[in-house]
Amino acid sequence: MKIPVAVLGATGAVGQRFVQLLDGHPWFDLVALAASDRSVGRRYADACAWKLDTPMPEAARDLEVRPAEPGLPGVLAFSALDAAVAGPIEEAFAAAGYGVLSNARNHRLDGDVPLLVPEVNPDHTALIPVQRRKRGWRSGFIATNPNCSTATLVLALAPLERAFGLKAAVVTTLQAVSGAGYPGVPSMDILGNVVPFIAGEEEKIQSETRKILGTFSSDGVTPHPMGVSATATRVPVPDGHTVSAFVTLGRDASLAEVREALCAFRAEPQRQRLPSAPEHPVVVVDADDRPQPRLDLKLERGMASVVGRIRRCELMGYKFVVLGHNTIRGAAGASILNAELLHSQGMLPEATS
Amino acid sequence: MKIPVAVLGATGAVGQRFVQLLDGHPWFDLVALAASDRSVGRRYADACAWKLDTPMPEAARDLEVRPAEPGLPGVLAFSALDAAVAGPIEEAFAAAGYGVLSNARNHRLDGDVPLLVPEVNPDHTALIPVQRRKRGWRSGFIATNPNCSTATLVLALAPLERAFGLKAAVVTTLQAVSGAGYPGVPSMDILGNVVPFIAGEEEKIQSETRKILGTFSSDGVTPHPMGVSATATRVPVPDGHTVSAFVTLGRDASLAEVREALCAFRAEPQRQRLPSAPEHPVVVVDADDRPQPRLDLKLERGMASVVGRIRRCELMGYKFVVLGHNTIRGAAGASILNAELLHSQGMLPEATS
Amino acid sequence: MKIPVAVLGATGAVGQRFVQLLDGHPWFDLVALAASDRSVGRRYADACAWKLDTPMPEAARDLEVRPAEPGLPGVLAFSALDAAVAGPIEEAFAAAGYGVLSNARNHRLDGDVPLLVPEVNPDHTALIPVQRRKRGWRSGFIATNPNCSTATLVLALAPLERAFGLKAAVVTTLQAVSGAGYPGVPSMDILGNVVPFIAGEEEKIQSETRKILGTFSSDGVTPHPMGVSATATRVPVPDGHTVSAFVTLGRDASLAEVREALCAFRAEPQRQRLPSAPEHPVVVVDADDRPQPRLDLKLERGMASVVGRIRRCELMGYKFVVLGHNTIRGAAGASILNAELLHSQGMLPEATS
Amino acid sequence: MKIPVAVLGATGAVGQRFVQLLDGHPWFDLVALAASDRSVGRRYADACAWKLDTPMPEAARDLEVRPAEPGLPGVLAFSALDAAVAGPIEEAFAAAGYGVLSNARNHRLDGDVPLLVPEVNPDHTALIPVQRRKRGWRSGFIATNPNCSTATLVLALAPLERAFGLKAAVVTTLQAVSGAGYPGVPSMDILGNVVPFIAGEEEKIQSETRKILGTFSSDGVTPHPMGVSATATRVPVPDGHTVSAFVTLGRDASLAEVREALCAFRAEPQRQRLPSAPEHPVVVVDADDRPQPRLDLKLERGMASVVGRIRRCELMGYKFVVLGHNTIRGAAGASILNAELLHSQGMLPEATS
């Protein structure tokens, strides 16, 4: 018996990725799709301008799009809702007993909401009981995943933190257009161009990284004290965020040690063999000119951070380049892995109230 | 009477830019074009696959391409030669009495060769007498301009150094494909992609920046002690290098002071009204999402560094984004401005020996 | 005394091009800018996200954006209005005595509205008296220019029609993203992609070409009887529509005769030396691999059609490739040239009623 | 026991695609890789700059690259050789008893060499005995597949020929950069640009299409009498050739009949269930704006032609757009399917002499 799940915001770029990744999932069964009024009442195949390069899953084609309101079938709600509306809708679902796995930014920094990367802070799910208590929710909850560039970065930082400690990271991102959703970035703005600004992105990288790497104690998560400074840019790349990182570790380490810490990184999802977990959460590529979005994005089905160009930096200590798939590990795939983690911890609701 | 000049390596991407920028120059008269054996003896219009979006200047069309050997007409030789051959050819021209204005990397770090940015280190031309003495050259010389990303960066750093002092810069470059010349970057490598590596580029940024900002004394240039660490990437942009910079100044300054130091920057080329000098060597753009290659590259005819997004950085102190035209200020335009500076200083040869 | 003119829809992609091209115009003085409610009451510099690579003209920066309603200063109204609203607004302006030069599609095929290309059908301005009579307008009028791909094509067809007659044209267009305005084509749709459909475009090419090449008689324009069949595609090019054309002429001609007919083409705007007229309305480029948007778009300041690859076609007779600048000759520049033609014919209103 | 095969020209773009597609092939076992002198003697993993987005197959990594000379293990030789050298090398392999499946253009139009598309002209393999007789080869042979744009086009034309007859096709291609191999098209030439010329391509489309659709009789293939006229362009697309086609059929048919003829098309490879055969050789997509390279290229693992926008054309009769994967169905996949066809016909050599 699979767990019935719904996708909220199912017609957008991230919503489509949820539908794609949930197709054939061993634990979850996609039973409901919700979207905005414009789509409600239509077949998904008719309502959705599918923009992925694999065909729309057969099982989804005939589902009727419903309003994003509790009452939907499913005990989990994967949220790809726009941040303009996600906040109260996700709360309503959680209050009604759904486990909400959200990709929206709205609740990420709430003190009682876990911002999860299963390889990094699986213990932060302990915020869920806190959250239920505080908000008076019986079995529902909200758990979030980080924004796409943070997801890519933090997966590469975590093994370094674990092995050597982390003091600071100065990063410049080169982000793909799919990170802005659809229609997102106008082509006139980005063809042959770089736009050195993404609203809110730098702040998210800075605060989300610290929370994810932070420490859970009885009353919440204490952010990691490391410094993080980011400049975010948009580049004419369809998928895949590249991050140029300069980091200061807690202690000196050889480049071989740094490389080994990244390669050897395994964590809870790998030990539990969660269905969406990459075998290697961090893949190190050794060729001088890698990682590249066009060539390295499919590694581990888009669920890994791919690291290359590990070098000494005379100022910060170390520098390297990280690549991640922004709509898989950076969005829908991250939410699904979060759900798998919570299932393995026995924390999913059994039914909506 | 204009000064007769030649262009070496005239058929390549930078060579074409020299031919374009020298057309109608008030001081210099293009009288000779040299290129490799494949082109020698052919009309320039036949030998050169012109890749600029203005027509090939009429005056250049009928010039016969000659071998890159002394004996060419002209007292100045602008060198767009490939680094594989530039070293000894440039020396031969200088020995024969030509003033060589080189865009090649070969001699940039030679102790007796000035690496010039006229707004930044016009006094480094004092290396020319040293060079002549050391190498036994009568009237010829080699003067170089920095590589394209350094040129963009250093023009923005110089006013900060002057106003506040500089301690460190951590930079990530997003470089256009024209920086690699023609044929240069294969389209299969860069369409929709980022290549996080450009051979030798990071080392150049680090060492050239220090030399340009360094101090001339009787026996040479002492590099600036600041730290510089770079990661260089190639992005699918036709022209224009974007640099994401994080810098530590010598003293605290408000963002308004930083902005003002950049805006107010004027130097020797502006005071001398050199023909190719930009009115504003640094242009500050205030919109959140600027500078952008597609929109800001034509400012000051490609001879300025365009700075935007000036912010505090909790780690380095300050961060901003700089854009420059890599084949104008970053290559041919830089060499021409160097020649203009030297002319204004009375340092050009009068005739070849 | 220049003629005062207004631009309607001034903040969009074509509107900005009007503002750019009217800056410093010898006959016209830009005195008013109108746009939608969102912009009304703001300085143009604040209301408009300027997307051109030359700075916003100083004279326009401080103009207050007004509603697109008669009463605006100016006796001419250049319309870059969206087709969703252009129809009645343009009529209201014409009724109020303005000469409306429209880039919108709404009235192009009206029986009493000239669809002008000054080199091709300058006599079609004779529809204006018909139009005034029919609609009861005293001094105002509406004159239109063709859609962008038609503009490019028809300028190359006209000399062939004149010299040899025309029977048929089968064309495939490869259109730039700026043809769709701003925000227009989402980058997710077009990066590294071809979209083989542009709504309504093929029908426009077919019907507009026939009308422009048609014959004016006392009661209207009889469309040219030639057959036209088009497939329109969008390609990841910022500016410049490329048209692959296969044509059947009215009589046999050598390739040299075809080439000569195109090169030698001059018409009314050239004879009258209209300010925006290209010296050569059709430029023939002989290199095998031309015309190309990146290299040939600036010829004649974007006001020419650039033709290359003229060959025999075993099926249609002849084939060639045409390139045109879609927002200059294909939009704003075309409207301005229309106004210049009408001025030279003494047909502009002297003042609004 | 699988059939041992070699790949000639294994390090280039098409060669890599052979290595990728042969990995895990049910009938063929990749046992040898050959390339030019520069690579000979090195491990494939070291010699080859792998440019595909799946990892290099493990089995290929350690193969030593050999010279492209008979004596290689294998009874089949898949040739991805450059046309500059392919001619005599392929002949030498055939003379030595290898079955040569060639992607090179050199022998395609030889009177005794089959130019195969297994769904279209499987009977043309009867040229192989003719070829052996004529050339004195015992068991070896050369069989070729068409160039990439022809492959895409002809697969869509074949069902129309079968159902209605074909009189003429006027086509414009929009071809991906991977069609030019590696390094191939310089990025400076194609970023944001269209190049309306590909050397030799139009002639290939015209002559190859006629040969493939031609009729075999005892002494050779009589080309199909249809007219074909092509204009070939290069667009900034990584993979996937789009063809805008205007065709005249042998008899009138409704659009529904045309669509059905395309959809229902099945042939020998489908009946024989050849391993690389697509289930549907032609896939019809009905959305207005399809097919698109980014979205439709993976259909049938790149082995189908994808057709959309089927419409009447007032001049030619019908028009539509076809998309195909240029390095799969247009190159390596085509050669492999040819080998599978020949195996199913019992025509492969059993061993080299």
Chain C CB contacts of D229 under 8 Å are: 246, 313-316, 319
Report the gap between the CA of B51 and the closest CA in chain D (Å): 8
Other beta carbons within 10 Å of A183: 16
Among the listed residues A266, A245, A242, the one whose alpha carbon sits nearest the alpha carbon of residue A163: A266
Residue C282: its H or E element: strand C282-284
Contact C295 B55 (CB under 8 A): no
Could you tell me where the beta strands, DSSP code E, fall in C14-92? Answer: 28-35, 65-67, 76-79
Smallest Cβ distance to B193: which of A233, A293, A321? A293
Contact C170 D196 (CB under 8 A): no
Q: How far apart are CA A157 and CA A305, in angstroms?
A: 10
Report the gap between the CA of B102 and the closest CA in chain A (Å): 28
Smallest Cβ distance to C309: which of D197, D244, D288? D197
Other beta carbons within 10 Å of D223: 16
Q: How far apart are CA C192 and CA B191, in angstroms?
A: 7
Assign residue B277 a region: left if phi > 0, alpha if psi is -120 to 50, beta otherwise?
Answer: beta
Chain C CB contacts of D172 under 8 Å are: 172, 231, 244
**Angle, CA C212 vertex, CA C207 and CA C214 arms, to 5°:** 90
Report the gap between the CA of A244 and the closest CA in chain B (Å): 7
Question: Is the Cβ–Cβ distance between D235 and D222 less than 8 Å?
Answer: no
The full length of chain B comes to 353
The reported pLDDT for the residue numbered B1 is 87
The reported pLDDT for the residue numbered A353 is 60
What domains sit in chain C, N to C, each tagged with a CATH number?
3-146+332-344 (3.40.50.720), 148-324 (3.30.360.10)
Q: How far apart are CA A195 and CA A217, in angstroms?
A: 40
Q: Which residues pair with B169 in a beta bridge?
A: B228, B247
Chain C CB contacts of D167 under 8 Å are: none
Which residues are within 8 A (CB) of C218 and not within 5 positions of it... i.e. 6 or more apart? none
Which residues are within 8 A (CB) of A138 and not within 5 positions of it... i.e. 6 or more apart? A97, A132, A353
Question: Is the Cβ–Cβ distance between C16 and C327 less than 8 Å?
Answer: no
Q: How far apart are CA B229 and CA B316, in angstroms?
A: 12
The reported pLDDT for the residue numbered A350 is 86
Chain D CB contacts of A53 under 8 Å are: 294-298
Which of A205, A244, A290, A309 to substitute to test the interface with B, most B CBs within 10 Å?
A244
Chain A CB contacts of C189 under 8 Å are: 51, 183, 187
As given in the structure block, the two tokens for residue B56 are: 């090939």
As given in the structure block, the two tokens for residue D94 are: 């055939």
Chain C CB contacts of B52 under 8 Å are: 295
Residue C353 confidence (pLDDT) above 70:
no
Residue C173 confidence (pLDDT) above 70:
yes
Q: Which residues of C fall below an 8 Å CB-CB distance to B?
A: 51-55, 191-192, 238, 294-299
Does B238 sit behind a cis peptide bond, omega within 30 degrees of 0 on the bond before it? no
Smallest Cβ distance to C192: which of B191, B238, B295? B191
Distance set, CA B276 to CA A346, B9, B78, C85 (Å): 71, 21, 15, 47
pLDDT tens for each residue of C179-229:
999 999 999 999 999 999 999 999 999 999 999 999 999 889 999 999 999
The reported pLDDT for the residue numbered B353 is 60
Instruction: Provide the mean pLDDT of chain C.
Output: 97
Q: What is the largest CA-CA distance in chain B?
A: 60
Contact C177 A183 (CB under 8 A): no
B241: annotated active-site residue: yes
Q: What is the ipTM of this complex?
A: 0.96
* Cα C15 versus chain centre, distance: 13
Chain A CB contacts of C236 under 8 Å are: 187, 191
Other beta carbons within 10 Å of C260: 15
Report the gap between the CA of A55 and the closest CA in chain D (Å): 8
Report the gap between the CA of A228 and the closest CA in chain C (Å): 30
Residue C350: helix, strand or coil by DSSP?
Answer: coil
What's the pLDDT band for D352 if we cut at 50, 70, 90?
confident
DSSP D124: G
DSSP B301: G
Smallest Cβ distance to B233: which of A174, A192, A227? A174
Task: Indicate which residue of D107, D124, D224, D241 is catalytic.
Answer: D241
As given in the structure block, the two tokens for residue C101 are: 């030069």
Q: Which of the residues in chain A have pLDDT under 70? A: 353
* Neighbors of chain C by Cβ distance (3+ pairs < 8 Å): A, B, D
Residue contacts between A and D (CB atoms, under 8 Å): 23
Report the gap between the CA of C50 and the closest CA in chain A (Å): 11
Chain position carrying tokens 């951070």: A305
Chain position carrying tokens 């042998």: D250
Would you tell me the crossing angle of helices B255-263 and B148-164 to the nearest 10 degrees?
A: 120
Which residues are within 8 A (CB) of A215 and not within 5 positions of it... i.e. 6 or more apart? A221, A222, A224
Closest residue, chain D, to B184 (C-alpha): D186
Contact B183 D182 (CB under 8 A): no
Q: Which residues of B fall below an 8 Å CB-CB distance to D?
A: 13, 51, 177-178, 182-192, 236-238
Q: What is chain C's alpha carbon radius of gyration, rounded to the nearest angstrom?
A: 19
Which residues are within 8 A (CB) of C84 and not within 5 positions of it... i.e. 6 or more apart? none
Among the listed residues A13, A317, A58, the one whose alpha carbon sits nearest the alpha carbon of residue A180: A13
Residue C66 confidence (pLDDT) above 90:
yes
Give just the sign of the alpha carbon dihedral D171, D173, D179, D183.
Answer: positive
pLDDT tens for each residue of C270-323:
999 999 999 999 999 999 999 999 999 999 999 999 999 999 999 999 999 999
Q: Which residues of C fall below an 8 Å CB-CB distance to D?
A: 168, 170, 172, 174, 191-197, 199, 227-229, 231, 233, 235-238, 240, 242, 244, 246, 288-295, 308-309, 313-316, 319, 321
C343: annotated active-site residue: no
Among the listed residues C130, C70, C115, the one whose alpha carbon sits nearest the alpha carbon of residue C95: C70
- In D57-124, which ranges are continuous DSSP H helix? 58-61, 83-95
Q: How far apart are CA C190 and CA B130, in angstroms?
A: 56
Closest residue, chain B, to C294 (C-alpha): B53
Instruction: Provide the mean pLDDT of chain B.
Output: 97
As given in the structure block, the two tokens for residue C69 are: 């309603």
Question: Is the Cβ–Cβ distance between C97 and C326 less than 8 Å?
Answer: no
Chain A CB contacts of B172 under 8 Å are: 172, 231, 244
Report the gap between the CA of D238 and the closest CA in chain C (Å): 6
As given in the structure block, the two tokens for residue C290 are: 């031309």
pTM: 0.97
Among the listed residues A67, A111, A110, the one whose alpha carbon sits nearest the alpha carbon of residue A89: A67
Which of C53, C177, C325 to substitute to test the interface with B, most B CBs within 10 Å?
C53
Contact B186 D188 (CB under 8 A): no
Residue B128 confidence (pLDDT) above 90:
yes
Give just the sign of the alpha carbon dihedral A254, A258, A264, A266.
Answer: positive
Other beta carbons within 10 Å of A225: 12
**Angle, CA C184 vertex, CA C180 and CA C189 arms, to 5°:** 105
Which residues are within 8 A (CB) of A14 and not within 5 positions of it... i.e. 6 or more apart? A80, A103, A181, A327, A331, A332
Residue B48 confidence (pLDDT) above 90:
yes
Task: Indicate which residue of B107, B241, B280, B343 is catalytic.
Answer: B241
Contact C54 B298 (CB under 8 A): yes
Chain C CB contacts of D309 under 8 Å are: 196-197, 231
Chain position carrying tokens 């391993």: D275
Closest residue, chain B, to A246 (C-alpha): B170
Contact B187 D192 (CB under 8 A): no
Which of D177, D187, D193, D297 to substitute to test the interface with B, most B CBs within 10 Å?
D187
Cα dihedral B211/B217/B218/B219 (nearest 10):
-40
Strand A3-8 relative to strand A76-79: parallel, antiparallel, unpaired?
parallel
The reported pLDDT for the residue numbered B229 is 98
Residue B220 confidence (pLDDT) above 90:
yes
Contact A191 C186 (CB under 8 A): no
* Neighbors of chain D by Cβ distance (3+ pairs < 8 Å): A, B, C
Report the gap between the CA of D125 and the closest CA in chain A (Å): 35
The reported pLDDT for the residue numbered D293 is 98
Contact A186 C191 (CB under 8 A): no
Residue D311: helix, strand or coil by DSSP?
Answer: strand
Closest residue, chain D, to A289 (C-alpha): D49
Q: Which residues of A fall below an 8 Å CB-CB distance to C?
A: 13, 51, 177-178, 182-192, 236-238
Contact C187 A192 (CB under 8 A): no
pLDDT tens for each residue of D205-232:
999 999 999 999 988 999 999 999 999 9
Of chain D, the percentage scoring pLDDT greater than 90 comes to 98
Burial class (CB in 10 A: 0-12, 13-18, 19+), C53: middle
Residues of A with a catalytic annotation lie at 148, 241
